[in-house]
Structure 1
């Protein structure tokens, strides 16, 4: 099962009142007073250090009695840290923000607290957990990024079949740690046809580098002309800084998202609630947009050209159950050739 969302549809959901209501929400004053006694916020994130620090600085300006602390790691490394701490009987994080795969596993292991921020009424229903354990901060459309000095926009592959053109052999960069697009494409094509396609794509001798920030910087430096499955915000950030990078999106565009959650045994739960509220607020979401990311809150403008034309497809949340199986299959086809 998948969810198809147009950017105009996000706004329509809000106008129609299709959003969850807060449950068991304490009064704002009571939360603030309790947070003053806690004095600290511990934030685990996969956002870039600079952007996360900007968010924390703005949060501290709003709540100067709280001292934010941050730990940053990406994807599975962040999940591994949390699980290692839990196995040792330590519950150190208050708030975690990472991809939906990690949120799914944490929820499944009962490591998240139920909290529906009052700000979720401004978010489309698909981006708020129906049980109240997470809410999405921003979405991450997967795009094809290209070096504008090496490739004309009209030449950039627009379809899966275009990627098989012999002229792209050895010229496509890809992150080997993110198999979600691979798994989603197999679903769309059907396993037999999809596997046959992936073997043809692997024969293109893709250039693997872990980490999309590294990969996109290599793209900008001319290491290769294309990056498959780049995040829109990663390409857009370098583009805004004057780098020779732009992007195109397939239609529909496979889209991941980044939820924010509170730990089930958060040491500072009231500080955590204030931070979640802040990140999902208009102020916090405007900051997200300033990072070239796509905020989930309706009515927040971005300067990303062409965004309104995209049709997003979000995979079923429980697809994370098959992450390890898909990762092994992905490696078998691509990395172990």
Structure 2
């Protein structure tokens, strides 16, 4: 019996040598994932959306049982750092938006995995070494209440928001640091600061949470939300709310990045999940949750709504100065 097993193993090894490297690698990854049998996914996306993605993954790979933990970006980063200090490596794959997750990349928490699916993702939506890829993008744009703002009054550029007629009629997320950092890079520090200060002088409503702000916009609490995620507008419109997006130049495309734990307890299952979520099949599931994909072969993509406007990927390297940017943004807006 042992001799037969050895012969079978040797034959499989010989076949692997005769096959392309990628095929052999895939086979080894599948066998490894079968032995691991688990995947732990940390993310900030809502539970129903995560369940839809994870259920499809489990259906495709029935030998893997998934576990999901949800928290917002800062809380997620804090949990991972706490676990790391305690020598506890619980997560396999992590996804979140904004500068917070990039802090983990910078401090060596992510491992390299250059998924073959990454070739479908343009520059600016992935790093050059395989640490992270944009699982979904979060286009930053203006949104407005269609009952309160007529087509003829729509702003033509961001600085039109500083027109006196919008005083007391604007809203903004009090933690839009990534947006501000990218405006500084694109416009220059002086112009970006002047714009944010101009918003302050408009008696802008400052509230944390774009989802909440979108609800308030739809109910008529204010007329225009100076910066929002496209997905929030798509979801609000689907629910029948009087909300519309307005893509002004430039649209900054935030990164909902995804990456693997350098010390993943289930590394093969983690790689399989990355391949799945970046594949056309996985990205079509992402689009069904109202999020946007930067893959060109995904149908029904919300990005099709703004394809005629310049879209610039968020520069995550700006996250290296995250604390300074946050304090500057808060200081300009008078947030204590």
Q: For the superposition of Structure 1 and Structure 2, which TM-score range results when normalised by the shorter chain? A: 0.7 to 0.9
CA contact (8 A) 1:172 1:227 kept: yes
Query: In 1, distance between residues paired with 2:26 and 2:196?
Result: 52
Q: Which residue of 2 aligns with 1:316?
A: 315
Q: Give 1:122 deviation, angstroms.
A: 1.8
User: Paired residue for 1:161?
Assistant: 159
Deviation at 1:328, TM superposition (A): 0.5
Cα deviation, residue 253, structure 1: 1.2
TM-score by length of 1: 0.87
| Partner residue, 1:222 | 220
- Per-residue deviation, 1:319: 0.8
What is the rounded CA distance, in whole Å, between the counterparts of 1:84 and 1:204 in structure 2? 41
2:61 aligned partner? 63
Structure 1 residue 118 and structure 2 residue 116: aligned? yes
Counterparts of 1:91 and 1:253 in 2: how far apart (Å)? 37
Pairs within 5 Å for 1:21-40: 27-40=25-38
Structure 1 runs (4+) deviating above 4 angstroms are 23-26
- Name the residue aligned to 1:330: 329
Equivalent position of 1:241 in the other structure: 239
Instruction: Give the C-alpha shift of residue 205 in structure 1.
Output: 1.5
With CA pairs under 8 Å and 6+ residues apart, which has the higher RCO, 1 or 2? 1
* Separation in 1, partners of 2:257, 2:335: 32
Q: Decide which structure has the larger Cα Rg and report it.
A: 2
Cα gap change, 1:113 to 1:193, in 2 (>3 Å): closer
Counterpart Cα distance in 2 of 1:128 and 1:151: 37
Residue of structure 1 in register with 2:206 after alignment: 208
State how 1:118-137 maps to structure 2 within 5 Å. Answer: 118-137=116-135
Matches within 5 A, 1:1-80: 27-80=25-78
Please say if residues 39 and 270 of structure 2, whose CA atoms lie closer than 8 Å, have aligned partners that are also in contact: yes
Structure 1 counterpart SS, 2:99: helix
**Count of aligned pairs between the two proteins:** 315
Structure 2 match to 1:101: 99
User: Superposed, which structure 2 residues align to 1:262-273 within 5 Å?
Assistant: 262-273=260-271
CA contact (8 A) 2:134 2:255 kept: yes
Consecutive unaligned residues of structure 1, counting only runs of 5 or more, are: 1-22
Following superposition, the deviation at residue 297 of structure 1 comes to: 1.8
Q: What is the alpha-carbon distance in structure 2 between the residues aligned to residue 83 and residue 196 of structure 1? A: 36
Aligned partner of 1:9 in structure 2 is: none
TM-aligned CA distance change 1:128 to 1:183, over 3 Å: closer
Normalising by structure 2, we get a TM-score of 0.88
Counterpart pick for 1:85 among 72, 83, 86:
83
Answer with 185-194 or 50-59: which moved more. 185-194
SS of the residue 2:152 aligns to? helix
* Structure 1 residue aligned with 2:196: 198
Q: Output the aligned Cα RMSD.
A: 2.0
Question: Which range moved further: 255-264 or 70-79?
Answer: 70-79
Higher helix share: 2
How far apart are the structure 1 equivalents of 2:129 and 2:160? 41
Name the CA distance, whole Å, in 2 between partners of 1:25 and 1:197.
Answer: 53
d(CA) in 2 for partners of 1:153, 1:322: 39
**Partners of 2:77 and 2:101 within 8 A in 1:** no
Contact 1:103 1:134 in 2 (8 A): no
For 2:241 and 2:192, the matched residues in 1 are separated by: 34
Shift of 1:155: 1.9
Among 162, 169, 175, the alignment partner of 2:173 is 175
Q: 1:196 to 1:303 in 2, by over 3 A?
A: closer
Deviation at residue 100 of structure 1 after TM alignment: 5.3
> Structure 1 residues 192 and 237 mapped into 2: Cα distance closer, same or farther (>3 Å)?
same
